[in-house]
Amino acid sequence: MALPELVLSLLRRGPAHGYDVKRDHDGWFPDGRPLAYGQVYATLSRLERQGLVTVQETRSGGGPQRTVYALTEPGEQRVEAWLAEPADVASSSADEIVRKTVAALRSGGDPGPFLGRQRAAHLRRMRELTEGAADDDLVARLARDHLVAHLDADLRWLDLAVDRLADTYPTQEAGP
């Protein structure tokens, strides 16, 4: 589960309380299940132990609720590395893909390159599935068709994302 990287992305915009992290997360995924406080603080603690997050200040009274967390340098790099790779299409769940894409779109900067990489990953997986399809029996092909259809749906959603962002970010030229 990419919850740690997600929390890191949430902190990318600036230091925040755990409460803010939970609130921002719920704002990013308004139709999903709200994030439990316990999970947030547990993740933040783990991230602090790993050195990816640091406590910036503590209000008087201590307690996790008053602590402001901030990304460290390694933490920043971890997020960038996470976003530099597309979600693994063969093994990830749909949730994972959505999570990563939203994080990429929300965390500032041009999401174009990420979306391009994710699209390529999807297409490669689709190609793998269709290449092997001809030899299988009917039911196996149907199973593959189902996967392909879902990948196609993801792609069209990604295209929509790119379309809607096209006005915000001018086209970059990429080429050989």
83 scored as a contact of another protein (CB under 8 A): no
Q: Which CB atom, from 62 or from 176, has the smaller least distance to another protein?
A: 176
20: Cα within 13 Å, side-chain hemisphere: 15
In sequence order, what are the beta bridge partners of 125?
A: none
How far apart (Å, rounded) are the C-alpha atoms in residues 13 and 168? 19
Residue 163 near another protein by CB under 8 A = yes
Q: Which one, 1 or 138, has the nearer CB to another protein?
A: 138
Binding mask 102-121 for another protein (x = CB under 8 A): ----------x---x--xx-
Q: Is 130 in the site for another protein (CB under 8 A)?
A: yes
* Window 17 to 46, contacts with another protein (CB under 8 A): none
Q: Considering the complex, state which of residue 7 and residue 151 has its C-beta at the smaller distance from another protein.
A: 151
Q: Is residue 173 within the footprint of another protein (CB under 8 A)?
A: yes
Q: Near another protein by CB under 8 A, which window of 45-53, 57-65, 87-95, 145-153?
A: 145-153
C-alpha distances in angstroms, 28 versus 7, 35, 97, 101? 12, 11, 14, 11
Q: Which is nearer to another protein, 59 or 150 (CB)?
A: 150
Chain residues that interact with another protein, rule: CB under 8 A: 112, 116, 119-120, 122-124, 126-127, 130, 148, 151-152, 155-156, 159, 162-163, 166, 171-176
